[in-house]
A and B are shown apart, each in its own frame.
Chain A
Amino acid sequence: MGKRLQATINLKNLIDEYYKKMFRYSNEKRPVAWLNVGIPCELFWAMDVFPFYPENYGALCGARKVATELSHIAESYGFSQDLCSYARVNLATVLSGKGPLGEIPPPTIQVCATNSCITVLTWWRAVGYFKNVPTIVIDTPIVQYDSDTLHLDYTEKQFRKMIESVEKITGKKLDLKRLIEVTEISNETKSLWSEVLNARKNIPSPINAGDVFTHMFPMVALRGTQEGLIHLISLKNEVYERLNNPKRDHNEKYRLLWDNLPVWYDLKLFDHLEQYGAIFVTDTYTQAWGPEFMGIVDRDNPLRSFAYFCASGFLNVGFDRRYKLIKQLVDEYSVDGIVMHSDRSCKPYSLIQHEIKKKIMDERGIPSLIIEADHSDSGNYSSESIKTRIESFLETIDCLK
């Protein structure tokens, strides 16, 4: 390992093209929708409404190490420093026109679902208020384990109403034939993603967490597009080629699980830990786009499938389902230890980690380390201190082995 995937180099072009396309849509007065990650991009690609994900933009700002500066700008507009840093950087750009991509034109419409947190609802509302953008909220009450029929009916009905509103506001009609074409491409893309994730079950794993986190972008924003599909094909091929022809700088000694979003401004942390043979062979975050939470869309009833993925999304289920996933990952990926990122910007993900930590130790004897950071804002982050803590944690794993 150690060597970057070729697909990562291609990814940069893919991201650049995506943002260029968004500006092009805007310049040509074509509709752009701001969505949270709980809203399926497929519907919008099928309607020729450009789907932009402010959370992706937050990750980009984190990776480019400009989130802290943007956060200060948001604070100057009255937004608390304790708010989610994705929200802060987005609001900073919306209100000041500053950011790594310069001024981002306001969307034609915004849609968010409450399936990740209540913060998105208030964040979308703030953008809607300050930029006078019509905002639609898809309400998904939290379920402990899975959606029942009533929950799905409630969500699907809101999807149908949302589509009607988007059609009315943007003037773009949803063509069901086109939607099926898009979902078929999306299904293929998701299957490839599952294969990439599954490749990590092998010992040694062909890739580390940094690789998969980086490649989340097409899974969030480009599902259902040819460019997204082509990228996933090359990514999958490269991963399996590496699996069949392993060339490694370091031996894999510790197989670790990363829980929560990554620290976008310190993905090198994963590279650093490779020298100790510590490889993050799985994580919970990328699994949110995996088969357990975002499976195949039923071509005969795509809206029902979208409603299901939205209503039973990874952060919209309770402790039991989250714990089940972790236990399953521990077993299937032969995990030795878990590093839990207690992310100050993501309460639904982070607040229950202490309980998961206790239970997985009791039931599987697997130790966990909780480290506090923020996914985008590096303001209070100390890379050295985190490295030291993880290095000590590896010694704990040694003792337990």
Chain B
Amino acid sequence: MKFAEIALDPCSYIHRLHNEGKRLIGYMDPYFPEEIAYSYGFHPIRLTGKDMDLIETDNVIASFACNFARSILEQAIRGDFTPIEGYAFTRYCDSIRGIYEVLRQENFNNWVYYIKYPSIISEDAVEYLLTELRELCYFLEKKSGRSISDSGLINSVMVFNRKRDILKKLNDLRKKRLINMNNKEYISLIISAGLMDPLEFTEEIERFIQERRLSKVVESEKIPVIISGMMNDSIELFEMLDRYDIDVVSDDLAFGTRYFIGNIEENHEKGCLYSISKRYINKIPCSTKHPTERRHEHLLKEIKETEAKGVIFLLMKFCDNDAMEFPIIKNKLNNEGIPVVLIEVDHRLSGKDQIANRIEAFAESIFSNQGNR
């Protein structure tokens, strides 16, 4: 499977893209409007966390920046991202803000761009971001040496809308148990979604759906759960879930459903850039934004639609935002009688045995509850 190869070694894939002549822009969070970069001929790359020792980062940033962000910085310092022409940041969280400043100061021959991004959901925020996106366009125009028309931007939006549509279609099939796909394959696909060309990715997923689509639901002994959290690129963790017969039937992850649910209106009367701004401000929010009720509603909806038996909340070490959001989410889930377990992880899944024990205990508790019913 192509996705597995790419997800296993994103760095090699990035080098390959560069050798093919692609101009790469790296980004870290799901609020970066890839459509805009793509319309200027750039290939947006989502920077992924990696299982590695963090050595160089300790010399440039405090140890309590989130581990996901630090592992990306470590890769940047070691030269893994040399093929990337520049980095684009939004105001996502305090750790990523720190990474932005360090990359800017260290100057590894990549340019660094920062979008003054709102943290609230409002019409004023849409208008504010719209101006910032215009600035981004000017910047990319200079860097790419090409100017784009409205239709050029709309074409790019259509490409990414199709990509989001196909990911949503796949997720809908997964929710209905109408696709033969395990957890490891799902996370590999999600990682690949941030690396591959959107047209190629969409084609691959269409092919994947054709190959794996089931004509009817096959009875399964696996425990259906929803995964909630921020960024998580640990294939090993999803393999572990496979081992414990846990079936992730949908998710509430930053680069899972929160990345692909919600399209951009292609023919908005206020123009394409406005509808891009509107989409990103109004998408299902991460905990770094306000308010977050829609995220909670989304999670509860996914649980209801999939009849999931519980939620696994993955908390990245030193992620303040989800750490503060978790007690609220837990309270809401408890009110609905939905079991939830908190699993704290880092970029390399340290303490694997402990994590495995917690997952196993959670699975057993759901099994025994089912037995009692």
Contact = CB atoms under 8 A, between A and B. Distances in A.
Interface of A: 77-80, 82-84, 87, 114, 117-119, 121-123, 125-126, 129-130, 137, 139, 141-144, 150-151, 154, 157-158, 318-319, 342, 344, 347-348, 350-355, 358-359, 372
Interface in B270-297: 287-288, 290-292
B321 A125 contact: no
Nearest to A80: B323
Given A141-B91, A342-B62, 13 more contacts: A84-B320, A114-B120, A125-B292, A126-B328, A129-B331, A137-B290, A139-B125, A141-B128, A154-B128, A347-B98, A350-B64, A355-B60, A359-B105
Contact of A118 (B60, B94, B124, B131): B94
A21 to B, nearest CB: 30
A355 B128 CA distance: 31
B332 to A, nearest CB: 9
B119 interface: yes
24 contacts: A78-B327, A80-B344, A82-B320, A84-B320, A118-B93, A118-B94, A119-B324, A122-B321, A126-B327, A137-B290, A139-B118, A139-B122, A139-B290, A141-B117, A141-B128, A141-B132, A142-B97, A142-B116, A151-B116, A347-B95, A351-B61, A351-B95, A351-B98, A355-B102
Nearest to B94: A347
A300 to B, nearest CB: 25
Given A154-B124, A353-B62, A348 B328 contact: no
Interface of B: 59-65, 91, 93-95, 97-98, 101-102, 104-106, 114, 116-120, 122, 124-125, 128, 131-132, 287-288, 290-292, 315, 317-318, 320-321, 323-328, 330-331, 342, 344
B117 A348 contact: no
B290 A125 contact: yes
Contacts of A359: 105
A121 B119 contact: yes
Contacts of B342: 78
A221 to B, nearest CB: 24
Nearest to B288: A118
A141 B118 contact: yes
B87 to A, nearest CB: 15
Contacts of A130: 327-328, 331
A82 B120 CA distance: 24
A78 B62 contact: no
Contact of B317 (A82, A139, A141): A82
Nearest to B60: A354
A116 to B, nearest CB: 9
A125 B324 CA distance: 9
B130 to A, nearest CB: 10
Contact of B119 (A78, A82, A139, A353): A139
A82 B64 contact: yes
A122 B321 CA distance: 6
B312 to A, nearest CB: 15
A157 B93 contact: no
Contacts of A157: 124
Contact of A348 (B94, B114, B125): B94
Contacts of A358: 105
Which among A143, A319, A372 has the highest number of chain B CB atoms within 10 Å?
A: A319
Nearest to A87: B324
A117 B102 CA distance: 17
B287 A143 contact: no
B326 A78 contact: yes
Contacts of A342: 62
A358 B98 CA distance: 16
From B94, B128, B317, B330, residue with most partner A Cβ within 10 Å: B94
Contact of B323 (A83, A129, A142, A318): A83
B116 A118 contact: no
Given A351-B94, A351-B101, A118 B59 contact: no
